[in-house]
Amino acid sequence: MFLNRRTFTASVGAVAGLSQLIPIGRANANASTPLFVATWNFGLASCRKSLEVLQQSGSLLDAVELGIQVAEADLKNDSVGVGGAPNADGVVQLDACFMDGATHRAGSVAGLENYPHPISVARRVMEKTKHVLLVGDGAAAFAQSQGFKKQELLTEEQKKKWEAWKSKQPAPGAAPPNHDTIALVGLDANGHLAGGCSTSGLAYKLAGRVGDSPILGGGLYVDGEVGAAGATGIGENIMRSCGTFLIVEFMRNGMEPTQACKAAIDRIAKSERKPISELHINFLAIDKKGRWGGAGTDNSYEIAVVTSNSATLEKPFLVK
């Protein structure tokens, strides 16, 4: 989200009474485990679900998957799962990935149509196949073979918005600014790290366009020995520099999470040769010690941080 979607006040009120505002730059703290961190204000409901699942089941992988499912099922969220904005042809195509730091296994789906929970299909790719990434019809056939239920993902509201956009005869791929991917990373008390990322991608993208979100090292990366990082924003700017892989490598070399996110943005800005204000890239990271942080180029960017005794929305470091 970088222009107009929810006001900060409204979003904080909507998600929970526990939410609180923390000034920009404060987001790099020690936190106890278990720890869940996710992108955007809606990440708070997802992280809360993740904590609940972890406390009940003890499974970090279930916690990550079911937490992300909350955002995917939210009809008000127009960038994730059902209710997500369609592509330029009016079709909702979803991207997701899932990564387990303990085993270095991962699974992804891209351009998946008619299945509301791509995060679950991505996890199934990881667990049931020898592959990492399935796309388009192949991903849908796999989802069907695994018993996932089909569903129409385009809501009436999104259809009307798309028709209005289309009626202006926009250039192909000329999408209005819109991004709100969920990337959620978690660390349990045993030092187990995992994460997932799920999105409908940029609104009115060209059919078949795949962003950073299902690409390991793009929208998400988890290294069981170091930490995890997630991304939201204009995927092309993130993918060209393997943004989340870079952040994890910076942490491996000793940086704290916020410092690593900021360093990745600096690197990307240099490589992209674009002003910071045009990048629209936002990151979060956690390390194996339970420290969390984030940095982004969008003023509206915020991250949800949930532990067993706190649930807050935080303003990550703003790179200008």
* Residues noted as catalytic: 181
E strand or H helix at 107: strand 105-112
CB atoms within 10 A of CB 159: 13
Task: Tell me the C-alpha distance between 250 and 91, whole Å.
Answer: 38
Minimum distance from residue 67 beta carbon to ligand ASP (Å): 17
**Residue 158 or 199: which CB sits closer to ligand ASP?**
199
Instruction: Please tell me the distance from the alpha carbon of residue 115 to that of residue 269, in angstroms, as a whole number.
Output: 35
Least separation in angstroms between CB 240 and ligand ASP:
12
Q: Closer CB to ligand ASP, residue 34 or residue 219?
A: 219
Query: Is residue 189 within 8 Å of 54, Cβ to Cβ?
Result: no
Closest to ligand ASP by CB, 202 or 286: 202
* Interacting residues of 293 by C-beta distance below 8 A, sequence separation 6+: 27, 28, 29, 256, 257, 258, 259, 260, 261, 284, 285, 286, 316, 317
Residues of this chain that interact with ligand ASP (CB under 6 A) are 79, 179-181, 199, 201-202, 211-213, 232-235
Task: Read off the DSSP letter of residue 170.
Answer: P
Query: For ligand ASP, which is the closer residue by CB, 28 or 213?
Result: 213
Taking the complex as a whole, how short is the minimal distance between the CB of residue 165 and ligand ASP, in angstroms?
Answer: 17
For residue 201, the minimal CB distance to ligand ASP (Å) is: 3
The one-character DSSP state at 156 is H
